Amino acid sequence: MGKSKQKQVLGRGLSALLNDPNNTIESVRDRNAEQVIGSVIDLPIENISKNPFQPRTHFNEESIKELSTSIKELGVIQPVTVRKMKGNQYQLVSGERRLRATRLVGLKRIPAYVRLANDQESLEMALVENIQRQDLDPIEIGLSYQRLIDEIKLTQDQLSERVGKKRSTIANYMRLLKLDPIIQTGIRDQFITMGHGRALVNVEDTKLQLALYKKVVKKGLSVRAIEALVRSFRNTKTDSTGNYSSPFIKQAAEELKIIFDTSVSVTSSNQGKGILKIKFDSQEKLQHILNKIKGV
């Protein structure tokens, strides 16, 4: 009886503590901190604010609806993680999909694991937990790694230990951030894969990078095919006149040769300017070429 009564009193005490807007638990040394910090407690959703350090920028609405259906039937199985703020306010550290889905269902409370952290610790917790637990796209992962290095001042070796990934894996994600923003968006929207991006990042010329990207999307080129094109381009040597023949110019000449059924040559400078030569050996052949150009 005594123990049962004591549990009820503690329960009421914790409830009163959580609902007290003036409670001042800000460190593990504060009174009643052991009842809140490190515990999983039911918190009113209205008392949980958005995480300003959230690395995820894309949320699949259909996925959140599916999660909300699961929560409606089974409840929230994995608690969200929150940071204790002043009074009865909390800040989300990780679990935004769960929080959004719970709101969608119309529930007023959610189980939460409570932690204390300063801004830097909160940022690190949010980034590390999201990298490990959430299905971030490759660009979001790269951005999260970059923020951990820039804002938390971690080295790649330290970062490797924190997130449990090889240093080479981290470097590959971060290199994607060197891609043109259009190509980064293509990776995020799954027009191309991370493998395509890793090949394209080896091309320093932005215009050529974009031209390759459009070729991948248009023709559905495999990662191996784009890697071969990139290698071919990087091995292309500029001749003494300043002209060069990239794989794309060579391919354009081959395609035109097929279309016009005649010899075609293309030369180009490294500024992108060039000359196209189409050979014809009779007036009839020239008319044939003109008809092809006109689409006749």
Give bridge partners of residue 92 from the DSSP assignment.
Answer: 82
DSSP state of 139: H
Q: How far apart are CA 221 and CA 236, in angstroms?
A: 21
Q: Give yes or no: 96 in active site.
A: yes
Closest among 10, 82, 2, 71 to 39, alpha carbons compared = 82
186: exposed, middle or buried (C-beta count within 10 Å: 0-12, 13-18, 19+)? buried
Q: How far apart are CA 219 and CA 108, in angstroms?
A: 50
Annotated catalytic residue: which of 96, 121, 129, 227? 96
Q: How far apart are CA 13 and CA 144, in angstroms?
A: 39
Q: How far apart are CA 244 and CA 266, in angstroms?
A: 10
Both tokens of 277, joined, read 């030569």
Q: How far apart are CA 221 and CA 3, in angstroms?
A: 69
CB-based contacts of 131: which residues, under 8 Å, 6+ apart?
55, 141, 144, 145, 163
Q: Are 83 and 26 in contact (CB under 8 A)?
A: no
Residues carrying an active site annotation: 96
